Amino acid sequence: MLTKRIIPCLDIKNGRTVKGINFLDLRDAGDPVELAQRYAGAGADELVFLDISATEERRKTLADLVYHVAEKVNIPFTVGGGISSVEDVDILLHNGADKVSINSAAVKNPRLINDLVAKFGSQCIVVAIDAKMIHGEWKVHLVGGKVPTELDLFKWAKEVESRGAGEILFTSMDHDGTKNGFANDALARLSTELNIPIIASGGAGNSHHFVETFIKGKADAALAASVFHFKEIEINDLKKELRANGIPVRL
């Protein structure tokens, strides 16, 4: 069995790491370069760096910050926020990112996924999906969760896979920042219906939530922010607990 991955997420706004609840009420969580270094040294398997205001403000991801973060870490690093073209991805990969994450732009222009995969390979392309339960159905939201669509989570995920994306980063907006656990039912369905890795995001509050998302949610990786930023969970301790529960991880 492949080892499960633990991925700290650095949400960036105006050059600082921030964290909110249900995508709202953002508070400062520190310098992204310092946090990236800390996580790389603490045993994180990968990092995700999302410029959460890039799409909304119609500006590009902070490529120079990506360069400085990549300079300091030696683990795989995914970058997202405001990416809408092959040229955007080219800049980010040249600045040191290992993968890129696209979200709103992929929904608006699904062909972008095909174009990016053709140019850079599926292993570089992560499609992030933010979804919320609306009248009993998971609906995709855009622009940092601010714009609802009628797009069904599972149909969109299957299309994303068919277009060649290498991974899906699924964030439950209902669970985000609540620390009540991941959306394991939706994750399990995604993991069962698709053949590409699924990264769980939204809801981590304690170590047991990670155990649950790997067992019940069948996730390939679990992403979290505030529990790592504010040292509520130490990555090494988390991995020891995961291993004690029979979940293969890299220590």
Alpha-carbon distance 145 to 208, whole Å? 27
Secondary structure of the chain in HEC code, one letter for each residue: CCCEEEEEEEEEECCEEEEEECCEEEEEEECHHHHHHHHHHHCCCCEEEEECCCCCCCCCCCHHHHHHHHHHCCCCEEEECCCCCHHHHHHHHHCCCCEEEECHHHHHCCHHHHHHHHHHCHHHEEEEEEEEEECCEEEEEECCCCEEEEEEHHHHHHHHHHCCCCEEEEEECCCCCCCCCCCHHHHHHHHHHCCCCEEEECCCCCHHHHHHHHHCCCCCEEEECHHHHCCCCCHHHHHHHHHHCCCCECC
- Whole-structure pTM value: 0.92
Looking at 3.20.20.70, 1.10.3210.10, 3.55.50.30, 3.30.450.20, the CATH number of the domain 5-244 comes to 3.20.20.70
**Sign of dihedral through CA atoms 89, 122, 76, 223?**
positive
Per-residue pLDDT tens over the stretch 143-152: 877 899 999 9
Assigned token pair, 124: 């570089």
Mean pLDDT in residue range 209-224: 98
What pLDDT is stored for residue 43 in this prediction?
Answer: 97
HSE of 116, CA atoms in CB hemisphere, 13 A: 34
Catalytic residues: 11, 130
Write down the domain spans for the chain. Answer: 5-244
Residue 167 Rama label (left phi>0; alpha psi -120 to 50; beta) = beta
Whole-angstrom distance, CA of residue 204 vs CA of residue 227? 7
Give the pairing of strands 125-134 and 137-142.
antiparallel
The pLDDT value given to residue 58: 47
pLDDT in tens, 104-158: 999 999 999 999 999 999 999 999 999 999 999 999 999 877 899 999 999 999 9
pLDDT, one tens digit per residue, over 45-80 is 999 998 876 655 545 557 888 889 889 999 999 999
Task: Identify the pLDDT of residue 150.
Answer: 96
Cβ 249 vs Cβ 242: under 8 Å? yes
Phi first, then psi: what are they for 224, rounded to 5°?
-150, 165
Mean pLDDT for the stretch of residues 164-191? 95
